């Protein structure tokens, strides 16, 4: 998980927290990855709350999987390669900024 210089602890984001994290994502992606900005709404999402350096953050994990794929709701999915079928970004609840944006590479 994306951390800071100290210990990282977890927390559970509420629906309102997730909506806040998602609110500016389309605009962010339009500048950072225009090809994702037009298609990310169809991705499955996983949200993990964590605290790093005293700030609450949400790791948003995006997957272009079928919603019927077993197991994705129960545990965090980590995939190597796969291109833009997989990407992740962190939302800082304190600053309202996005950080640590990563798109998987191709095999």
Task: Please report, in tens digits, the pLDDT of each residue of the chain (107 residues total).
Answer: 455 566 679 999 999 999 999 999 999 999 999 999 999 999 999 999 999 989 999 999 999 866 666 666 666 757 666 667 789 999 999 999 999 999 987 76
pLDDT number for residue 37: 92
For residue 55, give both structure tokens: 């700030």
Of 38, 35, 56, 34, which is closest to residue 47 (Cα–Cα)?
56
The answer to whether 82 and 61 have CB atoms below 8 angstroms apart is no
Residue 101 contacts by C-beta under 8 Å, 6 or more apart in sequence?
A: 28, 32, 33, 87, 88, 89, 90
pLDDT number for residue 105: 79
Partner residues linked to 102 by β-bridges: 88
pLDDT number for residue 64: 86
- The reported pTM is 0.84
């Amino acid at each position: 998980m994306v951390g800071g210089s100290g210990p990282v602890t977890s927390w559970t984001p509420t629906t309102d927290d997730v909506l806040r994290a998602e609110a500016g994502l389309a605009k962010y992606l339009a500048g950072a990855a225009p090809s994702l900005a037009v298609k990310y709404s169809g991705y499955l999402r996983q949200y993990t709350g964590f605290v790093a350096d005293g700030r609450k953050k949400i790791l948003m994990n995006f997957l272009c999987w079928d919603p019927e794929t077993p197991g994705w709701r129960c545990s965090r999915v980590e995939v190597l390669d796969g291109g833009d079928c997989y990407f992740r970004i962190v939302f800082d609840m304190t600053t309202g900024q996005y950080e640590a944006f990563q798109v998987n590479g191709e095999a």
